[in-house]
Chains A and B, each alone.
Chain A
Amino acid sequence: MKDFINNVRIVFLKDVRSELRTRYVINSLLMFVLVTISIIRFAIGDEKIEDEILTGLLWISIFFSASGGLARTFVKEEEKETSAALKLSASPTEIFAGKLIFNLVLTFILNFLILILFILITEYNIKNPVLFISVLSLGNVGLVAASTIIAAIISKANSKGTLYPVLSFPVLLPLLLTVINATKLASAGINPGEIMGEIQILVSYTVVVITASVLLFPFVWED
């Protein structure tokens, strides 16, 4: 157990370090977020948009920025041909856990940046901030859970860039539908009790997907 945690930490720190060295993902995603948000800003103009539509727009930016960043987690190992070395240094489960945590940290930073920018440029009125943030975080965890295993699958395929949205959309759809509905209700200022069902779906989706990913990842990773 101690070894496991230690190895997971090593994989995670390796990714953080290689990211900090090049800052490729962070830089490109920051630009992506800025571009998306400003397109939304120009599209809105001076009009006042309903909060429900804004929630949809928020999730569109989250989905696409996440797919830009998360899709690369395993692809970069294949491109730099470091996957063989990684294979030797840790077990599949440890690698998966390390990557998952790295992706989680990445998306959390990114999504809260998106959220802050979003509130600044639109008049997004969140009536129940605590609930909103918790639902958004739950949604993020589910998003990362499903994206990580799909990123692992596409890293072995030929047309990596275009394949990611194709594969991830049907898998993510139950999560997205639920989380969009839940954040919409939370921003409208609803009591936590009323979206308990949504929260249950989010949690069970995440648990099911992570369990399946841990079981299936060794099959993706072996050569």
Chain B
Amino acid sequence: MNTFYKYAVFLIISLVIVAGIVLPIPNIPALGDKARVLYFHVPMSWISVVAFVMSLWYAVRFLKSKEISYDIKSFSAAQLGFLFCILATATGSLWAKFNWGSFWNWDPRQTSIFILLLIYGAYFALRSAIDAEEQKARLSSVYAIIAGITMPFFIFIMPRLVETLHPDPIINNSGKINMDTSMLIIFLTSLLGFTLLFLWVMNLKTRLEMLKYRKSLKQAQ
């Protein structure tokens, strides 16, 4: 991670905040200026899913190689994913208050993010209940994988149960992108910026956890 990377992250996110608030957007019925939330809220949920997938990926690598550094990466990704999951829930429900009239109304997307929160919560509860480092890594990796493979079922289940009021995601069911070009550019820049930010903070967290682990090894000796 060189210095250029960090300044790039700073620049991109600053740009997105300014452009997202200042630049005019086409009028969208019932949404109006609240459509700008898209630039900030969607990257949060995007990162919470990316982090979950990364955590899974490192969990699999850990089980294959038994390298504790993979588990540390898996844990760091999960912790950041949890943070962004909370941010996505908070920003989403604030938006829902002004668009749907209540903070929480079990829209399918709210339910999905709620389940993701539950999985993250269960993962940390499991980790805190095991003392031995190696066993903690093994069991929590197994749990992450079990939880990860059951998540995709929601994609099939949710549409059967309730209809969503949530605005179309970028790639909607018809596979078309229906967004104003300037909005799309800002949105994609925002996704990029927040993803880079996530990778940076995750790098910091991994290094920190690595130091903690080494220190605990030293103390054990």
Q: Give complex CA distance A208, B129 in Å.
A: 27
Map CB proximity to B onto A73-112 as digits: 1 under 8 Å, 0 otherwise. Answer: 0000000000000000000000000000000000000000
Interface of A is mostly: helix
The count of A-to-B residue pairs whose CB atoms sit within 8 angstroms is: 92
Q: Does A22 sit at the interface, judged by CB under 8 A? A: no
Q: Of A163, A205, A209, A219, which contacts B138 at CB under 8 A?
A: A219
Give A residues with C-beta under 8 Å from B. 146, 149-150, 153-154, 156-159, 163, 166-167, 169-171, 173-175, 177-178, 181, 197-198, 201, 204-205, 208-209, 212-213, 216, 219-220, 222-223
List the one stretch of B10-18, B20-28, B41-49, B115-123 in contact with chain A: B115-123
Q: Does B161 sit at the interface, judged by CB under 8 A? A: yes
If A149-B146, A153-B139, A216-B146 touch, whether A174 touches B130 (CB-CB below 8 Å) is no
If A157-B130, A163-B125, A171-B147 touch, whether A220 touches B160 (CB-CB below 8 Å) is no
Q: Of B118, B122, B142, B154, which contacts A174 at CB under 8 A?
A: B154
Which A residues touch B153, using CB under 8 A?
174-175, 178, 201, 204-205
7 shortest A-B CB distances, which residue pairs? A174-B153, A157-B129, A170-B118, A170-B119, A158-B129, A216-B142, A167-B122
Q: Of A153, A201, A213, A216, which contacts B156 at CB under 8 A?
A: A201
Q: Of B63, B145, B150, B151, which contacts A146 at CB under 8 A?
A: B150
Q: Give complex CA distance A174, B148 in Å.
A: 12
CB distance from A100 to the nearest CB of B (A): 14
Q: Does B213 sit at the interface, judged by CB under 8 A? A: no
Q: Of A169, A201, A213, which contacts B157 at CB under 8 A?
A: A201
Give B residues with C-beta under 8 Å from A. 63, 115, 118-119, 121-122, 125-126, 129-131, 135, 138-139, 141-143, 145-147, 149-151, 153-154, 156-157, 160-161
Question: Please, which residue of chain B has its CB at the minimum distance from the CB of A172?
Answer: B150
Q: Give complex CA distance A114, B147 in Å.
A: 28
Which A residues touch B160, using CB under 8 A?
178, 181, 197-198
Question: Please, which residue of chain B has its CB at the minimum distance from the CB of A159?
Answer: B129
Which A residues touch B157, using CB under 8 A?
174, 177-178, 201
